[in-house]
Amino acid sequence: MDCLRGVWRLVALFVVALALAGCAAEPGGPQPSSAETGGETAGSAAAAANPGADCPVTTPVTATPPDSQFRSPLPTGAYFVSADRGIWTAVAAWGLGSRKVGWIKPEGSTLTVLGRRLDGDAAPLWADISERSVGDFQSSRVIIPSAGCWEIEARAKDSLLRFVFFVPQRPDSGGASSCENIGEVVRLDRLVVTGRVESNTVDASGRWAWQSVRVTRNLYPYSWYREHASVGRMLTLLQDTARESPRAEGAEYLLVLHSDPWPWQVTCPQQTVAAVDQKQDSARVLPLAPDQTLWAGTTLPEIENQIALAYRSSRR
C-alpha cells in the first residue's frame, strides 16, 4: 500500500509540473545543440533491452529525492540523478515527440538541457526551459524528434547529469504525404495555417532549424489539429534546410503541417510553402518554388475558399 501511495504521489508531482510548464503554449527560446561526450553518468550503464542496437541505456536510480520547496517530501521512485545528486528528473517523462519534463536542480541556478542521437544523424533535441520555477523545481518542454538512442545532458551550477535511453519507433499514423491537389491535403487532414516566424535557431551542422511560428490565420478549420490552430498560438517547427527553402524571422508564410508522429513539419515543402504579403490587398500569396502547383489562388481568401470546396466535396 505504501508503494502505491508513492506511485500516486509521483504522478501528482508531474501533473503539477505540467501546469507549471506553460511554455507548451507559448515556448521561449529554443536550445538545440549537441551534448559533449564523456563525463559522469548517473547510475550504471546497461545494454539496451529489446531494440538490439548498441545503445548504452542508463540504469535509473530508485531513490527518494531530498526535500524540495516544490513538494515535500517527494515520492520514492525511478529517477535519473547526477553524481552529486544536485539534478533529478523522472524516468517516465522521456519519449518521442513533445513532452513536459520536470527537474529538481540547485536552487537559484539556471538549467540547460542539451541532447543528441548517438546511433545516427538526426535533428538535435529541442528544449524550452520555462522562466517560471518554484525554488529548486524547474519545468520544461522537450522535443525528441526521432526514434533511436539518445543522450541527454543537463547542467545547473556545478551539477552535471548525463543519461542515455532508447526511443522506439511509432507506427506512421498519417499515411504517405501527397500534395498533388488540395483534395489530397484535405484527405490527409493536415493543418493549414498562416504563421509568422518569431525565432529561427539552426544547429551546428547547419542542416536543421527549430522555428517558433505564431499562427495568424487558420485556413482549414475542420482538421482534428484545430485546437493547435487558433490565432496567436505558437507552434514549434522542425525544418530540414537541405529540403526546404529558407524562412526568415519576422516573415509570414502559408504552411501545410503534420506532426505524425513527431514534431510539426511542413508537408511537401516544395509544393506548399508560400510567403504571405500582408501589405497587398487580401493578403497576396507568393510561392517560394517556381514550379509550385498546389495553390491555384493568389490571395488567402481565394485559397481558403478552395479548401472549403475540397472539404465539402470530400464529405459527399
Q: Which helix (H) or strand (E) holds 64?
A: none
Please indicate, yes or no, whether residues 144 and 19 belong to a single structural domain of this protein.
yes
> Which CATH number do you get for residue 195?
2.40.50.120
pLDDT at 9: 42
Render 136-176 in DSSP notation, one character per residue.
Answer: TEEEEEEEE-SSEEEEEEEEETTEEEEEEEEEPPPPP-S--
Which pTM value belongs to this model?
Answer: 0.76
Please indicate, yes or no, whether residues 80 and 211 belong to a single structural domain of this protein.
no
Q: Helices then strands (H, E): number in the chain?
A: 4, 18
Domain of 309, in residue numbers: 182-314
All three cell numbers of 84, joined, read: 552529486
CA distance 212 to 247: 11
| pLDDT tens digit at each of 316 positions of the chain | 444 344 334 434 443 343 333 333 333 334 443 333 333 333 333 333 445 458 999 999 999 887 766 655 678 899 999 999 999 999 987 888 999 998 999 988 999 999 999 998 899 999 999 887 777 889 999 999 999 999 999 999 999 999 999 998 876 655 556 788 888 888 888 899 999 999 999 988 899 999 999 999 999 988 888 888 899 999 999 999 998 988 999 999 999 998 876 789 999 888 889 999 988 677 889 888 777 778 877 899 999 999 999 999 988 7
In a domain, 85, yes or no: yes
Task: Out of 117, 133, 167, pick the residue that ends a domain.
Answer: 167
Strands (E), the chain: 45-47, 56-58, 61-63, 77-81, 88-90, 97-104, 112-117, 126-134, 137-144, 148-156, 159-167, 191-202, 208-218, 234-240, 252-258, 265-266, 274-277, 284-287
Please indicate, yes or no, whether residues 91 and 233 belong to a single structural domain of this protein.
no
- Side-chain-side CA neighbours of 31 within 13 Å: the count stands at 18
Asked if residue 223 lies in contact with residue 260, where contact means CB atoms within 8 angstroms, the answer is: no
Please indicate, yes or no, whether residues 128 and 79 belong to a single structural domain of this protein.
yes
Task: Out of 113, 133, 167, pick the residue that ends a domain.
Answer: 167
Mapping DSSP to helix (H, G, I), strand (E, B) and coil, where does residue 304 land?
A: helix
In a domain, 57, yes or no: yes
Q: What single DSSP character describes residue 22?
A: G
Task: Out of 110, 137, 167, pick the residue that ends a domain.
Answer: 167
In a domain, 176, yes or no: no
CA distance 296 to 182: 9
In a domain, 151, yes or no: yes
In a domain, 191, yes or no: yes
Please indicate, yes or no, whether residues 46 and 137 belong to a single structural domain of this protein.
yes
Residue 280, beta-bridge partner list: none
Please indicate, yes or no, whether residues 162 and 247 belong to a single structural domain of this protein.
no
CA distance 108 to 21: 18
> How far is C-alpha 126 from the geometric centre of its chain's CA atoms?
6
Asked if residue 257 lies in contact with residue 266, where contact means CB atoms within 8 angstroms, the answer is: yes
Please indicate, yes or no, whether residues 212 and 271 belong to a single structural domain of this protein.
yes
pLDDT at 132: 74
Please indicate, yes or no, whether residues 105 and 21 belong to a single structural domain of this protein.
yes
pLDDT at 49: 40
In a domain, 177, yes or no: no
CA distance 105 to 84: 11
In a domain, 174, yes or no: no
All three cell numbers of 136, joined, read: 529548486
Structural domain count of the chain: 2
Asked if residue 100 lies in contact with residue 62, where contact means CB atoms within 8 angstroms, the answer is: no
Residue 4, beta-bridge partner list: none
> Which CATH number do you get for residue 83?
2.60.40.10
In a domain, 23, yes or no: yes
